[in-house]
Structures are given as C-alpha cells and as structure tokens.
Structure 1
Amino acid sequence: MNFLRHRLLTTLLVWIGMMLAGLFIVMLQLLPIYEDAEDKSDIWMLLFFSLVVALVLSAIVGSRVIGVAIKPIENATETAMELVKGNYVARASESNASNSIELSRTINVLARNLQEITAVRVMEQERLKTLIENMGSALIMIDKQGAVSLVNKPFLEEFELTPSVVMGKFYKEIQVPIEVENFIESVFMTETHSRVQIEFLSGLKLKNFNVYGAPVIGEHERWLGIVIVFQDITELKRLEQIRKDFVANVSHELRTPVTSIKGFSETLLDGAYKDTETLLSFLEIVHTESNRLEMLINDLLDLSKVEQSGFRVNAQPMNMEAVIKRAREMIQPKIDEKSIHLKLEIQPINVLGDANRLIQVMMNLLINAVTYSSNHTEITIRLFRKDNRAIIQVEDQGIGIESSEIERLFERFYRVDRARSRNSGGTGLGLSIVKHLIEAHHGQVEVDSTVGVGTTFTIYLPLAI
C-alpha cells in the first residue's frame, strides 16, 4: 500500500513538474513581447498567478487521483487487517472505481463466509459444552503430554475439585482416589479402550463407578490423548444388594415356620399324636408358626401392593385422634403384656388420609415401639398442628438406634435387634410399609434416636381443608 501511494505521488509530482515546465516555456515565448516594457511587474504577476493556478489544478487532480485509486485500496487493506484480528463483522466500502470494486466485493464475501463459519463453530462449541456439562456422567480428557485439557462439572463435584487445581495439571498431580489414578494411567500407557468397575471410599461412603476409557484419535490417525467417563452406579449396586438381601431374607423367613410345621407334623405322624399332652403342645406350635407364616405373607402382599407404580390411597377428611385410639385398642394386649404405660398428648385434628391405611401405620409404629421397649417403660403419642401440616410422634424409651443404622431402618427385613424382633414375631416389613404408605399420603416420616435413651418416629401429614 505504501509503495502504491509513493508511486502515485511520484507520478503526480512528475506531472506537476511537467506542467510547470510547460508554463515556463510559454512564458519564455511571451518574454520578447514584454521585454521593452518599462514595468515588468505584470509579467511576474502573470507568472505567479499561472503558478498558483497550476498548483491548485494539480492539488485537485491529485486529490481526485488519490480518492479514486488509493482510498478504496486502503479501506480494503484495513478491512483485511480487521479480519486477520478476528473481527469478522468488518466490511470494505464498495466504491464505483472499476479498479477496486472487485477487490472490495471479494473481501466482503470472504468476511461474510468467515462470519458464518465462526457462528457455526461457536454454536457447535456451545452445544458440545452444554452436552458435556449436562451429560450426567463425570468426564476428564487428558492430552498426549498427560496434562488435563478438559473436565466437566460432574467430575469436579464428584471428587470435590476446582478447575484451577485440575486444568493443565499432570494427571498424577490431581487429587483422585488411587483406583481412579491407576485406571487413567493404564489407558494412557496402553492407548486402548478399557471398561472396568471401580469401588473406592469417598469420605465415609463407599462409591461404585462404571468407568470407560478410550484414546482420542485426530486426523491422519494422530493420537491426541485419552478421555475417561465415569458413570455412578452406587445406587444401582445398593438396589442390587437390597434385592439380594430381600430374596435371602424371604427365603429364611419362610423356611423357619415351614420347617417347624413340617418337623412337628412329621413327629405327630410318627406316633406322637397318641400322647395327648404332646399332641396339644405340638399343635399349639404348629398354629403359632402358621400365624407367623400368614402374617409374613400378608405383609409381603401389602408391601408389594404399596410399592407398585401408581399406588393411590383413598384420601378423605378424617379424624386422626380416632385413628390413634383405634390402633391403641388393637395392640393393647401387647402393651399390657409388658406393663408399658401409653401416654396420649392429642389435639383434635382432621387430616386428609385413608383411615384404614393410617390405622395400619399407627399399629406398625406402636408394635415397633413395644417390641424394642423394656417392661414398665413409657410410650408417648403426640398429635398436634404445625403450619399447614399435622404432626404425629411416637416416642419410646427403648434400646435406641445407632446413627449408622437409621438410613437402613426402612429397608425390607432390616432389624436393629434381630434376635428380639424374631422372638416377638416381627416380620421386618412393618417400617417399610409405613414409609410407603406415608409417602402415598404425600407426607414424610423421620426418625430421631439415641442409643440407650429411646426413639421418636415423626410423621407429617397434610391437613384436611
């Protein structure tokens, strides 16, 4: 551009010089005419004005030449420099000069194409970023030098890290469990696909992950690094273990009464029935075990029903005080058997619920309180209103529950004291049924317990409008 400007200026100066030379020659031709004149000032005045006119004309012509030939090229050059800087919105002005209009149009077409390509690239990057951040699985990408080049939010949250301590760091420098580090190193060294299940402690919790690692291959089969994806299967493992425990517990709970019934009936058939005292004793045991078997089957059927998707209760406005008193009457014999004092602190409150199901809930909670309470202790039932909910509390003075066991308290067949609950005839399904029935009422159930002091179950139910 500077070369072109100098070229035009040089041409202009040559043209001005030629113009002045011509003017000087004309004056020389006119000089003999005025040589006899006494006053030659007119000659110099004419020469001066001729020079001024020549300079003005030269300036006009030069400005026109520069405006037509230089300005469009300068504008095109400036636009090109803006494109180089990444400003794809810049456009060159399209003048009518035939020598530059094609250049300006071409640069503008290039600018529009670059702008469209950039917009598509930005959109694709945003889509990729959104996908990676919201994929639900933790992800980390490591380049061929072993430095972390990309992590998503689930990875940082899972391992309690921040981008500043991860990005650009060597993968052995980031604080992840040794099992995860070993897997990353294995994929990085072998440059092969790999899938494993990893189990490690995260604080006090045991975590399970399905981890997939793969090499990142670019153009021309160039190895660019590796990518590792973590899928949290802790909950799936927990549910699988619950299923296994359920099958094992059901088998055990069914086998015990069946074995007793079968054993005593075989003994009677072998001739023990001839002894009346033995016959009555064995029949009493068979009857007791049959009741236990029936209760277990009924609880299993109830639990299966309330766990079904779409289970609904027949919720209607009802008197919760009447429900509590009815449940107390039905388990009064068990209360009297252990000489337990049942204390009621009840306000008259109507709730939105299914009376039969809530009686079942209260009976299960009271039976649980009696089971784990010693003789001559006290059980307190409270009913009161707080905000827009009814609150029911069942408080005992029993053995209490370890804090580590409270999370599993509502699992099927889970028992705090297995020997005591089995001896009392419990099935281990009562609290699980309670939880599902309360949730079906759009309520909540909470547990607060201290070992050696007692346990309080708190139920929140919606009030009847």
Structure 2
Amino acid sequence: MKYYYTKILTVSAVILSILLIVLGIILGQFFHLFGKNVDATIQQTYWVYLLFTLVLVFVVMMFVMTKILQQYVQPFDHFTGVVHQLARGNYLVRAHNEDSKINHQLTNSINQVAQKLQGNSALRAMEQERLNTLVSSIGSSLLMFGRQGAVNLVNRVFEETFQRNGEELMGKTFKDIGLPSDIEKEIETIFLTEEVRTFQSQVVLTEGVCHLDVYGAPVIGENGNWLGIVIIMHDITELVHLEQIRKDFVANVSHELKTPVTSIKGFSEMLLDGAVEDPVIRRDFLEIMYKESNRLQLLIEDLLRLSSMERGSFEITRKPVDVMEVVEQSIKIVQKKVQEKEMRIDLHMPEQLIILADHDRLVQVMVNLLNNAIAYSQEKTIVTVSVEEIDEYVEISVRDQGIGIMPSELPRLFERFYRVDRARSRESGGTGLGLAIVKHIAEAHHGTVTVDSEVGVGTVFRIQLPTHEQL
C-alpha cells in the first residue's frame, strides 16, 4: 500500500514544478536589467542553460525527495496496510523490520499487537469449538433464545429428536419452530418471570410418544445483563416405561400373591371353625388349599429364579447336550397335561444333534414353551416341535393351534406377569413368568427367542442357540 507515499510525492512534484517555473520566469527578466539590446543568440543560449538547470534541479530535488519519503513516509504506508489487514481479521500478517530506530519500535509494537490478536483469535476459536462439541455431545435437546425470543443456538440432539434443521430455525421465534403448546407456554412464562422452570411434557413423534423432562432458565451475563433463556429437554421415555413396568410388577405380584393367600386363608378359617363336617367337602377344601399353596410356591420360585437371572448371578454350565433328549424329556414332563386335553405332540427333528448348552436350563425352556402351547390350545389339537440346524445355530420351534396373539400384544409378551388370557393362564396354574425366564435363558446361551402368531390360527415360538460356545 503506497497511499501516503504516492500522494506526498505527487504533491511535492507539483509544488516543486510551480516553484521552478516561477523561478525561471524571474530569472528570464534579468536581460532587461542589464540592457535592452542583447544579442538574440546570447538570449537563446541563456534560456537553454536556464531550462537545463531548472530541469536538473527538478530531477535532483525529486530524487532527494523520493529518498526522504522512502525513509520516513513509505514505512507508514506499510504499517497502515498491516493495520488494515488486522482490522479485517487477518491476524497472521506482520510488519517488516526497518532500519530506523523509530520504525523498529513501531514494527515491534504492531507485531506484538498482531501476535496477541492471533492468540486471542485462536483461543476464541478453540473455546467456540469446545462449546460446539459440548453442545453437540449433550445427550439432551438444547435450545437457546435471545432477548427477543429468537433462536440463536440449537444442538444436534434437538434436530434428530424433532426432525428439524438447525440452520432453518435460526432467527425464528419459539412460537414458529413447532414446539408443543405446553412447552411454548412455559417458555413464555420464563420470559415474563425470568425464573427457573422445570416440567414434563409429551411429544408425539413419528416413532411414538416421547416423554420429556424440560428445564428452562434465564441466561445472565457477567455484568448482570439478561441475554435470553436456555431450554434443555431430556428424553425420559425409557425411565417412564421402566417406572410403568415397576408399577405393573408390584401390582401383579400383589395380585398373584393375594389370590392364593386369600383362598388358603378362607378355607383354613372355615375348617378351623368346624363349619365343614362332610369329609368329602373337607377333602375338597384341603385339595384346593394344597393346589393354591403349590401355585404360591411356584410363583415364589419363579420370582427368585428370574431375579437371579436379571442380576446375572446365575451361571450357565455348558456341556455337550443332545437336543433330541432334551425335547423328549420335556415332553414326558408335560405328558399328563397333553393327555388331559387329548392333544398330540408331533416331532420333526433329526436322530441326534449335539450342542454346547446347559441341559437343565434347556429342559426348563422347553417345558415352559410346551406348557404355554398346551394352555392356550383347544382340546384335540396338535403341538408341533421342530428342530433343525441352520448355519452355526440350532433352531427349536414350538407351534400350536391355539387362540393366537394380537400383533399389538407381541412386543410385551416376554414381560413379567404379562398374559394374553389371564383367566386361561390362571386356570392352568401359570405364574406369568415363564416366557420371561425363557428369554433370559436363551440370551444367557447367546441365543435369541422370537414369536410369530396369527389370531385364530396359532402361535410359533422359535429359539436359536449357537451350536458351539461363543464368547
């Protein structure tokens, strides 16, 4: 940049030219002072020497002026350019070190300023990157609104949860970004009261209902200036679901324990009061009490077993097991129930298939599945058990011709105490924990359990277990 240097040099050339022209005019009038009849040749020679001298003086003076300006003015043009670059945000630019002591001090001062600005810029960039990383890494949706209610910060979780584009939301007010009405009202309340607010909200999204725990607070600057508000929305859908499961579990356990205890207590009181004299009726009462006590014992054992599985404190002892022998032993255990309902169990399996598994646990799985199939099937129907090897897994399927299960009930089928038909399950002596136990045992073997069902046609449970132990 040569703004000052060029301008001063141009002005100096103009002034010098004017002075030399005036000087030439004055010197040209000397002939009239010494005489009027001066030879024309002498006058012409005089004018040539005068013109040459003036031109020479102009050149010499401009050369001297140029050197002076280069020494004292041109560095200021350089410094001005550096300052302009710093003002535009180019903190990498530096001033050149000149020979002059004054210029050297000025150069060092400008470079020190540039270095500090560069350091501050790098620090701000690093802090901004940290802030962006922190905001993006927060597992909750985050919104920040300015003093006028316009969005000025959105994180990635909010964009993913609400299917919004953060850049499109910038500058819009909280009433224009599609938030639920209750959240909008709370945000408006925070703007009016400038107080911290916490509340819960439900949002209907494409994947279902999302439960949110919302925290809103005003943002106060270092000088006490009110800058806006921040809204943090934490997804508590899973917590709400777990809380509902806990409540259902407590209610179901209370109900399942209350029913047999009430029966045992009622019949025992009648027997103790001597109200039943008939031996046959008394025996019926005792049989009911015995049956209910067995049911209570089964429930407690299943609860303890399931609790042990969920804590991970039970162990799977893997040994070579013949799947055919497991199936046949399980069928013998439920054979009495099969005969009572005049049902038949068909087998489709090879003569022998060895896998590494826990024999007793597999028998427990098969008994639970067979009892389930028998309980929900009509009399004189068929239960089909199939075993086949698929790649590195063995698949065991139990298919019944029962009442079937609604598609809406399938996701909850493996929850504790969940029953498709409570009356039928209770009549069969089930505790409602069988399928939950089946799932835990299958997963402990690094396997899976799935179910397909059609109402009025039947249900099929499939268990896939690895043929070799997989860690």
8 A Cα contact 1:350 1:464, kept in partner: no
Q: 8 Å contact 1:341–1:378 — kept in the other structure?
A: yes
Letter in 1 for 2:339: D
Q: Which amino acid aligns with 1:355?
A: H
* 1:231 aligned partner: 234
Aligned counterparts of 1:98 and 1:278: Cα–Cα separation in 2: 122
Counterpart AA for 1:437: I
| Structure 1 segment 259-338 matched on structure 2, within 5 A | 259-271=262-274, 274-309=277-312, 311-338=314-341
Shift of 1:200: 4.5
Separation in 2 of the partners of 1:412 and 1:198?
28
Matches within 5 A, 1:344-383: 344-347=347-350, 348-383=352-387
User: Which residue of structure 1 aligns with residue 458 of structure 2?
Assistant: 454
Cα distance change of structure 1 residues 133 and 287 upon mapping to structure 2, 3 Å threshold: same
Structure 2 CA distance for aligned equivalents of residues 351 and 122 of structure 1: 60
- How far the C-alpha of 1:224 sits from its partner, in A, is 2.1
| 1:236 maps to amino acid | L
Aligned mate of 2:121, from 95, 104, 118 = 118
Q: Is 1:396 the counterpart of 2:400 in the alignment?
A: yes
Aligned pairs for 1:194-273 within 5 A: 194-203=197-206, 205-271=208-274
Deviation at 1:246, TM superposition (A): 1.3
SS of residue matched to 2:145: strand
Give, in whole Å, the separation in 2 of the partners of 1:404 and 1:19: 106
Alpha carbons 2:405, 2:454 under 8 Å: kept: yes
1:251/1:72 Cα in 2 relative to 1: closer, same or farther (>3 Å)? same
Unaligned runs of 5+ in 2: 31-37
Q: Partners of 2:291 and 2:282 in 1: how far apart?
A: 14
Give the Å deviation of 1:63: 4.5
Does residue 1:175 correspond to 2:182, yes or no? no
User: Partner of 1:227: helix, strand, or coil?
Assistant: strand
Contact 2:413 2:435 in 1 (8 A): yes
Whole-angstrom CA distance in 2 between matches of 1:165 and 1:2: 44
Structure 1, gaps ≥5 residues long: 29-34
1:273–1:233 distance in 2 versus 1, CA, 3 Å:
same
Residue 178 of structure 1: how far off its partner (Å): 2.2
Partner secondary structure for residue 101 of structure 2: coil
- Look up the match of 1:443: 447
**1:387 maps to which residue?**
391
Offset at residue 343 of structure 1 (A):
2.2
The 3-state SS of whatever aligns with 1:132 is: helix
| 8 Å contact kept, 1:217–1:223 | yes
Percent identity over the alignment? 46
1:203–1:4 Cα change, 3 Å = closer
Q: Which secondary structure does the structure 2 equivalent of 1:73 belong to?
A: helix
Q: What displacement does 1:45 show?
A: 9.6
Quote the Cα distance in structure 2 between the aligned partners of 1:172 and 1:150. 15
Report Cα offsets for 1:428-461 as digits up to 9, x if no partner.
0111111122222222222222222222222222
Contact (CA 8 Å) 1:388, 1:462: kept in 2 or not? Answer: yes
CA offsets 1:102-161 (integer angstroms, 9 cap, x no match): 222212111111111111111111111111111111111122222222221211222222
Distance 2:199 2:238 in 1: 17
Q: Select between 80-89 and 5-14 the one with higher mean Cα deviation.
A: 5-14
Going from structure 1 to structure 2, the CA distance change for 1:424 and 1:4 (only over 3 Å counts) comes to same
Q: Judge conservation of contact 2:147–2:227 (CA < 8 Å) in 1.
A: yes
Deviation, 1:242, is 1.3
Q: Which residue number corresponds to residue 32 of structure 1?
A: none
What SS is found at the alignment partner of 1:407? helix
1:310-361 Cα offsets, whole Å, 9 max, x none, are 5442234433332222222211222222222222222444333222112111
- Is the CA contact (8 Å cut-off) linking 1:316 and 1:352 kept in structure 2? yes
Question: Greater CA deviation, 408-417 or 256-265?
Answer: 256-265
CA separation of 1:184 and 1:317: change in aligned 2, threshold 3 A: farther
Structure 1 residues 267 and 199, CA gap change in structure 2 (3 angstroms): same
Q: For residues 49 and 432 of structure 1, do their structure 2 counterparts lie closer, same or farther at Cα, with a shift above 3 Å needed?
A: same
Specify the alignment match of 1:76 in structure 2. Answer: 79
Secondary structure at the aligned position of 1:221 is classed as coil
- Partner deviation per Cα, 1:401-435 (whole Å, 9 max, x = no partner): 12221121111111111111011110001111111
CA contact (8 A) 2:5 2:69 kept: no
Q: 1:240 to 1:341 in 2, by over 3 A?
A: same
Residues 1:161 and 2:187 aligned together: no
Q: SS where residue 331 of structure 1 aligns?
A: helix
Cα displacement string for residues 267-316 of structure 1 (whole angstroms, at most 9, x for unaligned residues): 22222565322232222112111211111111011011101145442234
Q: Are the counterparts in 2 of residues 318 and 464 from structure 1 also a CA contact under 8 Å? A: no
Aligned partners of 2:20 and 2:58 also within 8 Å: no
User: Are 1:433 and 2:430 counterparts?
Assistant: no
Q: Please state how far the C-alpha of 1:204 moved relative to its aligned partner.
A: 7.2
Paired residues for 1:53-92 under 5 Å: 61-92=64-95
Contact map agreement 1:179 1:200 (CA 8 A) in 2: no
Distance 1:167 1:379 in 2: 62
Distance in 1, matches of 2:413 and 2:293, equals 27
Residues 272 and 278 of structure 1 are in contact (CA less than 8 Å); yes or no, is this contact kept in structure 2? no
**Letter matched to residue 397 of structure 2:** Q
Q: Tell me which amino acid in the other structure corresponds to 1:462.
A: P
Q: 1:464 to 1:42 in 2, by over 3 A?
A: same
1:235 alignment partner, SS class: helix
* Deviates most, 181-190 or 432-441: 181-190
TM-score by length of 1: 0.87
Q: Would you say how many aligned residue pairs link Structure 1 and Structure 2?
A: 456
* Post-superposition offset of 1:381: 2.1
